[in-house]
Structure 1
């Protein structure tokens, strides 16, 4: 049997997160990160997006209203990764977080991308990143990717705003 390969144009369409407090989640995703609300389902759920897509992120309290965060040491979502179109766009987001004194949990250069890590108010992991142009991705001698994790030069990233 020939192995199946998923079509190259396939994308992850959206992520749907359980949250304890919808307004608190919207304060983070809408007010701090800048997503737009495309629709609300009363006080139980919201769909948010960038650029008018029907939704990149769904937020709901259907099974989680006023609940505790999911245990860190359990199976589940590690993080939602939000891809910014340019390095400057990532720098704008990082500056907004720093100006709001929002805690970051990490900042890494992966060779193929630069990323900032944080948790949303429900302790769901969030990665904010931008991809370097594919021609700049580091490669091993055999042509495979040579991704790594090194400290991100955050002051250098913020120089994009000068």
Structure 2
């Protein structure tokens, strides 16, 4: 049994994500077959998937929803964090064997990641963190970059004779969520005020990365495609809500960020 990733042990962390889907059955099949989540339950038109018995993703059926618009506020990607580099290597081998289309593969210094997009346009990151002791800090800002991922090196972590990819392993989590926003500076102020997050990195004026407990980021917010976006259109598919887990609260709450993105908070340990 692997240890729970550091990202989930901080005072506040991401618990799960809700997606509104035009075709919930097809979308759930994608997250099972490609991402490796397991179906945990169904209730009232919602399909819940996760790793082991940990719910990570709720897919809410809404056949009448309009397609998501990447120029508006919403989801940039949901980032699924695997417990080890070998797990990432197993997923890479699975992607190669099943001819899964990959849109990016990056070394971020703090992590190694692959990127894809689900059938309804929701971004996905599948990643593994580098050891926390290898992260480089400059004061309260962390060194992150986007460099070419050394895929052969990642795959080499998989032991000879290994059983291979068996789906998301126990203790896989959502490590972070990256949001599309109209103004990153407004997102930064909101996450500071509402969750006490720290700003750990900025990419110019177009993206900001925030976290709790010195993780490299639990929340990213960018305006790369959505600069100036206003409130979200609730009739569109895509992100329905983000759920955060917090040691600092005793009751569940729901609030909205400046673009109407629903952010839930639940108490308790990861």
Q: Contact between 2:106 and 2:112, CA under 8 Å: does it hold in 1? A: yes
Q: Distance in 2 between matches of 1:106 and 1:93?
A: 14
Q: Contact between 1:117 and 1:127, CA under 8 Å: does it hold in 2? A: yes
- SS of the residue corresponding to residue 155 of structure 1 reads helix
In the alignment, structure 1 residue 50 sits paired with structure 2 residue 51: yes
- Which of residues 157, 160, 182 in structure 2 aligns to 1:160? 157
Q: Distance in 1 between matches of 2:67 and 2:148?
A: 28
Q: Distance in 2 between matches of 1:132 and 1:17?
A: 28
* Counterpart for residue 86 of structure 1: 84
Q: Distance in 2 between matches of 1:28 and 1:67?
A: 19
Q: Contact between 2:34 and 2:100, CA under 8 Å: does it hold in 1? A: no
Q: How many aligned residue pairs are there? A: 151
- SS of the residue corresponding to residue 94 of structure 1 reads helix
CA gap of 1:66–1:107, structure 2 versus 1, over 3 A, is farther
Shift of 1:41: 2.5
- Which of residues 98, 106, 110 in structure 1 aligns to 2:108? 110
Q: Distance in 1 between matches of 2:41 and 2:21?
A: 16
Q: How does 1:13-162 map to 2 (within 5 A)?
A: 13-41=15-43, 44-53=45-54, 55-62=55-62, 65=63, 67=65, 69-140=67-138, 142=139, 144-161=141-158, 162=160
State the Cα deviation string for residues 50-97 of structure 1 (Å, max 9, x = none): 1212x11001113xx265541222211100000000001111112212
State the Cα deviation string for residues 11-38 of structure 1 (Å, max 9, x = none): 2111001122122112211122221111
**TM-score, structure 2 as length reference:** 0.52
- SS of the residue corresponding to residue 92 of structure 2 reads helix
Give me the CA root mean square deviation.
1.9
**TM-score, structure 1 as length reference:** 0.84
Q: Distance in 1 between matches of 2:152 and 2:66?
A: 35
* Counterpart for residue 4 of structure 1: none
* Structure 1 range deviating more: 94-103 or 67-76: 67-76
Long gaps (5+) in structure 2: 1-8, 161-270
Long gaps (5+) in structure 1: 1-6
Shift of 1:143: 6.0
Higher strand share: 2
